[in-house]
Amino acid sequence: MCSIFGMFGLQPGDDVPALRRQALELSQKQRHRGPDWSGVYHDERAILVHERLAIVDPAGGSQPLRSADGGLVLAVNGEIYNHRELKAELVRDYAFQTGSDCEVINALYRECDTDAGGPAAFLERLNGIFAFALWDAANGRGLIARDPIGVVPLYWGHDRAGRLCVASEMKALAPICADVAQFPPGRYYEFPADAADAAKPVPRRYYERPWRDYDAVEGVQVPKAELRAAFEAAVHRQLMTDVPYGVLLSGGLDSSLVAAVAARYARHRVEDDDRSEAWWPRLHSFAIGLEGSPDLAAAEVAAAALGTVHHGFTYTFQEGLDALPEVIRHIETFDVTTIRASTPMYLLARRIKAMGVKMVLSGEGSDEIFGGYLYFHKAPNAREFHQELVRKLDALNNYDCLRANKSMMAWGVEPRVPFLDREFLDVAMRMDAKYKMIDRSDSGPRRMEKGVLRDAFEGELPGSILWRQKEQFSDGVGYGWIDGLKAHAESQVSDRELAAADRRFPVNPPQTKEAYYYRMLFEQFYPGTACAQTVPGGKSIACSSPAAIAWDASFAAMADPSGRAVAGVHAQAVSAG
């Protein structure tokens, strides 16, 4: 994974050398994402800059990627897991210039010229995590696109002269774009050079699935064996790498399942169909927490059962507190839950980087697919349960995906998320939600959240891990972390300041002192209305969704996003487990 910066719509009379220097300076603000190499392309109408983190084809594959004739220029942040299959399916010959998995985008774009479906036809075929800017210099047009779920970040806006600018992180655009905004997931924007400065560009959706509608999945039961096989295939695909890698292992269900499957495949190279031994055959796992945290203890149990080379790190509350300003600068949000969880993840990424590991697999997405959050215990029926899953998936780019990507990439460590693999999603989300719901009946054993996933992997993990109760990551690293943050914010923000929060912060005003404190730090780095508007609602309180409030009115009054605060569900579930 890397970072990109693009500027389109340069006009005759523009000082191109000066704009090129400006583009390089802005791109440098993202260099933590790609410390291995930098590349730049420019002509009289467009500039593309790329900061590279070399994961596949580290000796080659430098970007921007250009076609043999020089007509196509591509800057990509991401991975295309099915690139070999896509290359084999090409109808037109394409002279590949590198071994990069991402170069297949250029080849597919060339084919889409003759395809009535246009860019949507080939974008829908990509299985990967990506955000890219492609410049068709020969025909004077550009294409911007982002992966279906928004695992990889992408922002866009216009500079003072109306030129269209795109970047992997907001920090590269905030200095020049008063209208900076997130580029939405699962969409693309195609434009001719002379229209790049359109005042209100409208991206088009290319990713749509029948399973978004409950009527399309009602009554569908996915066999446990099929669900398990689909997840195993997703993990296997995402082991595509030419550099040392590992897994994040909190000891919870999701990260433990990722680690278990990865350990099975770690000894062989995915890129040659598992025929040769992997260059780094021992799987390393990583965890972090305060001294005595639940996650560290559970991770030790899981690692011992799986045989990983495990690294459990501790941090102190003060170390986490000291990191907060840099965490917020990197993750570009003032959302309470995201900041609480991002800080230990940021500290862990630094440890991982120091050990020479450049890629990790992580467990994000499972809770959104299977209803793992504790408030799902309150869902009244399968239809509403499913609709809430879709809503949560649509919001992932603002929360868990943002957290995992930006906090790890702050140190040049790429996170991959097998639960959000496109093919696995199609299997898991076409299941009727009634099979995912928590059984609250008095008869028989209690069915925990994500029971269908636990059942599918029965015997794969120790029982204490397979049936471990859900913990928010920011809880699992140690309850003292959240309690300490709230106490610190109490000392930093007065009652009077909080009462006037809506006047100081008219966009998404903070509701608690902790939220106010984070907002002050955010404003230091990202002042202005547009930057604040990139954080939807200003909070990701699991129970603040309209659906959750409808399920239990008490959720409306909750101001703490910790899993422990979910109307007693956490305590009830723990005692029942």
DSSP-derived secondary structure for 159-213: -TT--EEEESSGGGTTTT-TT-EEPPTTEEEEEEGGGTT-SS---EE----GGGS
Q: Is the pLDDT of residue 473 over 70?
A: no
- Given CA atoms 566, 568, 570, 576 in this order, what sign does their dihedral have? negative
Q: Which pLDDT band holds residue 562 (cuts at 50, 70, 90)?
A: low
Average pLDDT, the chain: 90
Q: Identify whether 2 is a catalytic site residue.
A: yes
Q: Which pLDDT band holds residue 130 (cuts at 50, 70, 90)?
A: very high
Average pLDDT on 356-380 reads 94
Residue 135 token pair: 């410049």
Catalytic one among 2, 102, 165, 401?
2
Q: Is the pLDDT of residue 353 over 90?
A: yes
What is the Cα–Cα distance from 335 to 515, expressed in whole angstroms?
7
φ and ψ of 205, to 5 deg? -80, 135
Q: Is the pLDDT of residue 565 over 70?
A: no
Q: What is the CATH number of domain 3-205?
A: 3.60.20.10
What percent of the chain lies above the pLDDT cut of 90?
Answer: 78
Residue 527 token pair: 């002042």
Average pLDDT on 117-143 reads 95
Range with lowest mean pLDDT among 327-331, 369-373, 381-385, 542-546 = 542-546
Q: Is the pLDDT of residue 283 over 50?
A: yes
pLDDT value of residue 542: 45
Instruction: Give the number of other CB atoms < 10 A from CB of residue 556.
Output: 12
pLDDT value of residue 197: 52
Higher pLDDT, 545 or 465: 465
The residues, ordered by sequence, that sit 6+ positions from 472 with a Cβ below 8 Å of its Cβ are 337, 341, 561, 562, 563, 564
What is the Cα–Cα distance from 25 to 528, expressed in whole angstroms?
21
Residues of the chain with CATH 3.60.20.10: 3-205
Has domain 223-576 been given CATH number 3.40.50.620? yes
The answer to whether 248 is annotated as binding is yes
What is the Cα–Cα distance from 240 to 501, expressed in whole angstroms?
47
Average pLDDT on 422-446 reads 83
Q: Which pLDDT band holds residue 149 (cuts at 50, 70, 90)?
A: very high
Q: Which pLDDT band holds residue 475 (cuts at 50, 70, 90)?
A: low
From residue 285, give the alpha-carbon distance in Å to each of 42, 336, 410: 42, 27, 19
For residue 59, the 8-state DSSP code is T
Q: Which pLDDT band holds residue 563 (cuts at 50, 70, 90)?
A: low
Q: Which pLDDT band holds residue 573 (cuts at 50, 70, 90)?
A: very low
The answer to whether 69 is annotated as binding is no
Range with lowest mean pLDDT among 58-62, 95-99, 261-265 = 58-62
The answer to whether 362 is annotated as binding is yes
What percent of the chain lies above the pLDDT cut of 70?
Answer: 90
pLDDT per residue as tens digits for the range 446-460: 468 899 999 999 999
The answer to whether 105 is annotated as binding is no
Average pLDDT on 321-349 reads 97
Residues of the chain with CATH 3.40.50.620: 223-576
Residue 515 token pair: 């939220």
Nearest to 412 by CA among 328, 332, 353, 361: 353
Identify the H or E element spanning 390.
helix 382-395
Q: Which pLDDT band holds residue 194 (cuts at 50, 70, 90)?
A: low
Q: Which residue has the tokens 């062989």?
A: 268
- Alpha-helical segments (H) within 66-146: 83-88, 104-112, 119-123
Q: Is the pLDDT of residue 532 over 80?
A: yes
281-307 burial: b if 16+ Cβ within 10 Å, else e: eebbbbbbbbeebbbbebbbbbbebbe
The answer to whether 149 is annotated as binding is no
Q: Which pLDDT band holds residue 18 (cuts at 50, 70, 90)?
A: very high
From residue 388, give the alpha-carbon distance in Å to each of 213, 422, 428: 11, 19, 15
Task: Give 77's Cβ-side CA count (13 Å radius).
Answer: 38
The model's pTM is 0.93
